[in-house]
Amino acid sequence: MTEKTESKMSPKLFLKSRRPERFSDSVIKEVGRLDRSVLEYHLSTLNRRSMELAFEDFAKQLCEKTICPNLLEQTGPVAGGDGKVDTQTFPVSEQAKDLWYIGINEKADEERWAFAVSTQEDWKAKCRKDVRKIKATDRNYSKAFCVTNMYAKANQRSDLEDSLCKETGIDVRILDISWILDQIFKHGYEQLAIDTLSIDVDWRREIEVGASDYSKGLRLQEIKKDIRDKVDTSKILPHQLDWMLEEAVLSKELENPPIETQGLFDRAIRVSKRHGTKYHLFAAHYQYAWASYWWYEDMELFEEQLLHSIEIAKDIEQSGQWGDVVSLLSIYSSYYRSNKDKYQTDVAPILTEIKETLFKLSLRDDRPSNSLMSRAYVELINLLTIKNTDEASDIFNSLLEIVKEGGFLVGFPFNELYNLVTELDNVFGERAS
């Protein structure tokens, strides 16, 4: 996590101790051994065992998962087929891209990218040769990825990338064995390596599925099937947008690989922008912010999603969305409270701005329930800024008066206010820890 102090308890562990039902209850056991050194040795010696084609298949599948999913299958008796590249992107429609959620790159459907895979020990010479061949095709490739099972020193790799880019006008990226190992172990792709590279190792990941995970897993598969069979990407319907966000939330709670779950959240945001309302877009950003902090402990990503949520809430002007924003602000404020510089430069101005916005909403008499809830949220933000618990007394008295006034309004959202105070208790509890 970025900018995390040593005294802070892990947000994920904290919430998991309080809300275990929101996390996976399955037990994962790894039988046997497949550590980094074993896979490193296997990869570095592929050329001695004439496994060039196997490595090409492995590299293609790994790149599909981590860079872009629209890669062509190559034909031909040897690596590279007869097309001068080992694989390349193929054009897809903007609508078709809406359903992607792994290996997403915004330009992958618009630009032509080439991939060259090699097990040769002289990786620099092979990379030069491959990039020059790619340039000679005159197919207007904008990027060229050279995947090698050799180690490439950082300075040598950067120098060669810059040199070839200057020579050919193609953005060249060299992906060496270190990159491969990082992707495999970071994202849990060990089985991919074992299967495609025929690694003779007694390793497997056994999962004892918990009762909660079992029901969530069934629902997840049902949603996946509905999205695959029923969604028309030229016109995604509102309830189908809800499916996509629910899929991301379920994947998060099942604690599936972050690269997949975060891809699902990104997809929910992307399709909401294209096909949904501001309410759909807000919900996607809000849920992603919540996941970023409590599940992935990524404060930079959390801040990004928080700011998006605030901007959308300003347009919606509904108390429900502002309640969600206040719950995110409570996290933001609590996290940086001990960092005075960050708090004063970034957090305090946002709290002030939101209070002013809510105060204006509270003065509107055309929607009395919305106005009253806006007053409540102002008090809750005041609660976030207190320096000691003695200051909380007046705030709670004001909240009590708001609740009493709400009793005269049919349909006043008492549960919404109660749930928000409960969520604030999570944050204050974490601060106390």
Confidence class of residue 106 from pLDDT cuts 50, 70 and 90? low
What distance in Å separates the CA atoms of residue 160 and residue 128, rounded to the nearest whole number?
Answer: 8
**Is 90 exceeded by the pLDDT of residue 244?**
yes
Q: From 415, 429, 422, select the one nearest 320 (Cα to Cα).
A: 415
Rounded CA gap, 24 and 26, in Å? 6
Any domain includes 122: yes
Q: Is residue 8 in some structural domain? A: no
Least confident of 69-78, 183-192, 201-210: 69-78
Please report which confidence band the pLDDT of residue 82 belongs to, taking 50, 70 and 90 as the band edges: very low
**Does residue 72 fall inside a structural domain?**
yes
Average pLDDT on 222-249 reads 95
**Residues with Cβ within 8 Å of residue 421, at least 6 apart in sequence:** 380
Mean pLDDT, rounded, of the chain: 87
- pTM listed for this prediction: 0.80
Query: Which tops the pLDDT comparison, 407 or 269?
Result: 269
Give yes or no for residue 2 having a pLDDT over 60.
Answer: no
pLDDT at 404: 83
Return the amino acid letter for 2: T
Is residue 83 pLDDT above 60, yes or no? no
Q: Is residue 165 part of a domain?
A: yes
What percent of the chain lies above the pLDDT cut of 90?
Answer: 60
Return the pLDDT at 405: 84
Q: CATH no. for residue 118?
A: 3.40.1350
Q: How many structural domains are present in the chain?
A: 1
**13-28 pLDDT, tens per residue?**
999 998 999 999 999 8
Asked if residue 238 is part of any domain, the answer here is: no
What is the distance between the alpha carbons of residues 329 and 303, in angstroms, rounded to a whole number? 10
Residue 99 pLDDT: 78
**pLDDT tens-digit profile of 303-356?**
999 999 999 999 998 888 998 999 999 999 989 988 889 999 999 999 999 999
Mean pLDDT, residues 208-232 taken together: 95
Q: Which has the minimum average pLDDT: 327-331, 382-386, 424-428?
A: 424-428
66: in domain: yes
Q: What residues make up the domain containing 91?
A: 36-196
Spell out the residues 6+ positions from residue 64 whose beta carbon is closer than 8 angstroms to its own: 71, 102, 103
Percent with pLDDT over 70 in the chain? 90
The pLDDT score that the predictor gives to residue 423 is: 65
Inform me whether the pLDDT recorded for 90 exceeds 90: no
Nearest one of 355, 384, 371, 379 to 318, comparing CA atoms:
371
388: which 2 tokens?
């000691």
CA distance 188 to 181: 11
Residue 121, in any domain of the structure: yes
pLDDT at 81: 44
Q: What is the pLDDT of residue 79?
A: 47
Is residue 410 included in any domain, yes or no?
no
